Structures are given as structure tokens and as C-alpha cells.
A and B are shown apart, each in its own frame.
Chain A
């Protein structure tokens, strides 16, 4: 009986470059954020490497908590709007008969998905501004005399968010609709259910997984959003992302900024846990 040991398993080597890279340039930076959140702010905007919980105490101060709430609210509204507007669209695409049409429509949804957030947000500035498209058209048509204040309002922020995040909700819902076995629908038709009943009892429940993924892809990034409130909301409706950006680039209070980031990350983690638990309870 011979015990053989051939060349060792080198398969792990192939993933090594990516692991090392991500360790150094992803994991460690995130750890740095965590570390900085416990440091003191130094004079002239530096950092004192002294342990302190001041930053977190400040986070839970009145003003910042208000902004956190506002941010979560905006994110929730955005998610709900995306679901309400996105679901019918996903349903529409998945019920097209020709595969070519489906792919074309899908491509049309995906294209904005890949283009620049900044540009797409800017396009709403042109539309909503005081000298923007809507106002100029309404004035020219004589409907109003003074420009409506559309830009730099919470309304503008919500529209901008919806515009940017809608594809992220449509795609996962579409994917889960596609997974439903068409034969189930046929079978229930055969058993006498009308279209509305089929939708609410069969199609919608089976597509819930897509909804959960969509919440994941919409709600969570919405929490960290700052471009849209920056360009479309002005100073009036900052989200927590704006405050964080300011701490880092204007106020130079990196420790406090880091603490804010950590709280956002905690919010995200909580969302993920709730999402997973609710999903598990609802899945069959």
C-alpha cells in the first residue's frame, strides 16, 4: 500500500491577487473609518489619535438625528415610489410575447443603469430650474407668471432619486417574474381563476423575492446618496451623505465624519438583517 502525495493544491493561488488587493484597499480602509470614528478631532483639522466616544455622542445630538430621520424617510419614499412605478413596468416587459422585444426593452432599461449619475441628475436641473424647461414653457404658455420653485426642493430630490434608482428596482422584479413557471398561470386559468385573482394569488407572491432584492438595491444606496440632494436639493434638504461629505472636505472633522459613516453602515446592516429575516419568513 503506497500513500501518495502529489504536487500541492495550487488552486488557491489564482484568487490570491484579488484577495490581497481587496484586503489592502477595501477591508483596511473600512477598518480605518471605524478606527477614526473613535479618535478625537485635532486642532486645525487634523486627528488626535486618542480614544474618544465624543463623535458618537455628537451623532445622537438633535440636529444630526433629525437629518438621519429625514434621510431614512427620503429613502423609504424613494423605495416605495420605485416599487409602485417599477412593478407595472417589470410586469409589462415580462408579458411581452416576443423575446426580441423583451431584450430590446430590457436593454432600454439597462442603458440608463450604466450611464453617469451626475449627468442624469444634471438633466433634471435643466428641466426644473427657474429658467428651466418646465418653467419657461409654462410662462410662455401663459399658465403662470412667475417661475415655480421646483429646483432646490425636497420634491426635486425625490424626483431625482426616483429617476436614478428606478432601473434598480425594475430589473430584479423582472428577473423574478421571469422565473415564474408560465405553466402555473395556465393551470390556474384552467382551474377557473380570472386574471386579477391569478395576479394577486400567484404571480405577485412568487415575485416577492425580486421586490426584496430591489429594496436591497434601492434603499441601501439611497441612504448614502449625496449627489442628488447636493445638486437638486441645495442647502435646504441635506441628506446624511451631504453632512458626511462636508465633514470630510469642508469642516475637516474626519473623526466625526467617520462616526457618521459608521452609523450609516450600521443602518445598512440592520436593513440587510431585517430584509433577510422578513424574506425568509415569506419564502416558500
Chain B
């Protein structure tokens, strides 16, 4: 169990991290999600011990490791740019951590072979990083980290640089490791899709502070702030007159019809004209302009039903009261 208590780091006059507190447990994919510059990478580096915090504590299984330097912490990090050692081949890159711990040669050999096999890169053992593709480099970076059986595994934007297919493969690799490794997993990313698909819990970070920690489902259906609602998924703003009670609704929760709804079928209705229509394959994204210069985005999943929609069509929108999300600013 890893406890982070009121971690603060200030760079000149920017609050990179402000009173960050988190509790993390084993065998859980924990994501720190936030836009670029929110401080998430700094947080990662502080946990790894590569950056020194200005104040705050880090406790691992009841022992305070706040002042322990990075090379003595049982944590390992997979960098966004992999940072493989260019002058060493794959075998030696992966073996490095064990070599630093003065493990004997025989054991190093066995563990390296085992780890390479686990990540399916045994055939790359003798190659140098410059001879590897991006996806291969990442596996080597992962192998190099997990071979040390770290108590905490930190991953910085692990899927961002990968194409669709590789992303899927890597997701499988990571899920496989989840059960095998017995570590705490902390991911950092700006990509909300990535977080939503893999995370058990997500901490949303903005301007150096944690705004909300919750499961993906709860973050999506019950965001606390407007920022989170807009950052994860899309929303339409219904009413933001009251700062503490902004009304939002998600595009997929608005129902669209080319004829008026039955009376009182939906608690809320509007009508307007279609000004944009985007066919997305398995859904249609429609932008509707309401009579008084407001626009709504509606997501329709029944493409057959809405096959004949055109720009300029007059349409009717309706939604129920309980699909409204209330957030604060």
C-alpha cells in the first residue's frame, strides 16, 4: 500500500504539485489523468524519487520513504521516450537493474531470459536500441523495469506513441502483468480514452491539484466539476447561471426525432435545425442549432433509423431529468 500525503512541489512561481494526497493499493491500475502541464509527470518523478518534493510524505507499507533517493526505492519507471541505454544491447539493458543490485551472473541470466520471454522479445536479446522499432523499445523498457519486481511500477504515457494495433497489444501485455507482478501500478496520461479503458481508478489532475479520484464509470457519469465533465467525454451546457450547480448533458443522452415527441414523454424538449452532420461509422454526430443561437451536440447510435437526416432539417430534441449532470465550476 502506497500513501502519498500532501505532496507539494513549486517551480519558481508555478505550483507543479499542490498538496497531492493519494492512497494506492496493489494489483490495481491507477491512472493520473490530466491535460499537458497539469503536473502529472512531476508527480510521477517525485514518487520515483527523481525529483525532490518541497514538502509532503510518501509512505510505503508503513515505512516513510520520503527522503530515500531514487536508486534505493523499490520503484521502477517506464519513461515516455523509453530512455534505453544506447550503448548496451537489449540483454544488458534489461539486466542493468540486477547488475546494480550485485545479483550473481547466473541468476541475472535466468531472470533476463525469463522476462524477455514474458514480453515476447527473446529474439531481440542481442540487438541495440537503435535497431528496434518503437513498440519493441517499449517492451524492452517494460522488461527493464519489471525484472526488478518493483513494489511500484510507474508508467509515463505508455500508449500515446503507439498506433491502434500496437496500443491494443500493449494493453493486453499490461493486463497480463497486472496479475503476475503483484505491484502497485501508477499510470500517467493525458489521453482520457486510454484511462477509461484500462483504469480501475482515475485521479483527475488540473493545475497541480487532484480534482477527483473515482472509477472510470463514476467519473463519467458523476463528475464533480465542469472541467472533468468536459475533459472526460463531451457535454452540452444547459445552464451555467449558478456557479455551484451547472447543468450539463452528454450528447448520447439527448434523443433526436424528426417529428415532435408525445406530450410529456420527456421532461425537457427543444427544437432546432441541423447545421452539421458527421458520419462516424458506428455513430452519427449531429450539431443542432437551437432557435436562440445555442448549439447542441447529439450522438446517435442508430444509424439505420437516421439514415435520411440532412443538414438544414428541422429536428426535435428531448431528454429526461435524470440524465442531467450537475457539476460545480
A residues in contact (CB < 8 Å) with B: 1-4, 6-7
Contact = CB atoms under 8 A, between A and B. Distances in A.
B207 interface: no
Contacts of A1: 6, 55-56
A4 B53 contact: yes
B6 A4 contact: no
A126 B55 CA distance: 75
Nearest to B69: A6
B52 A6 contact: yes
Contacts of A4: 52-55, 66-67
B59 to A, nearest CB: 11
A6 B67 contact: yes
Contact of B56 (A2, A6, A7): A2
Contacts of B225: none
Given A3-B55, A4-B53, 9 more contacts: A1-B6, A1-B55, A2-B57, A2-B66, A4-B52, A4-B54, A4-B66, A6-B52, A6-B67
A233 B63 CA distance: 80
18 contacts: A1-B6, A1-B55, A1-B56, A2-B55, A2-B56, A2-B57, A2-B66, A3-B55, A4-B52, A4-B53, A4-B54, A4-B55, A4-B66, A4-B67, A6-B52, A6-B67, A6-B69, A7-B69
Main secondary structure of the interface of A (DSSP, over half): loop
A41 B329 CA distance: 83
Interface residues of B, number: 10
A193 B53 CA distance: 59
A68 B52 CA distance: 58
Nearest to B53: A4
A3 B53 CA distance: 9
B123 to A, nearest CB: 36
A4 B69 CA distance: 12
A4 B54 CA distance: 7
Interface in B26-79: 52-57, 66-67, 69
A2 to B, nearest CB: 5
Contacts of B67: 4, 6
Nearest to B52: A6
Contacts of B66: 2, 4
A6 B73 CA distance: 14
Contacts of A2: 55-57, 66
B68 to A, nearest CB: 9
A8 to B, nearest CB: 12
A3 B6 CA distance: 12
A212 B55 CA distance: 50
A200 to B, nearest CB: 45
A1 B52 CA distance: 14
B62 to A, nearest CB: 16
A7 B67 CA distance: 9
Nearest to B19: A1
Contacts of A3: 55
A130 to B, nearest CB: 60
Nearest to A5: B67
A7 B69 CA distance: 9
A3 B67 CA distance: 10
B200 to A, nearest CB: 29
Contacts of B57: 2
A6 B67 CA distance: 6
A1 B19 CA distance: 10
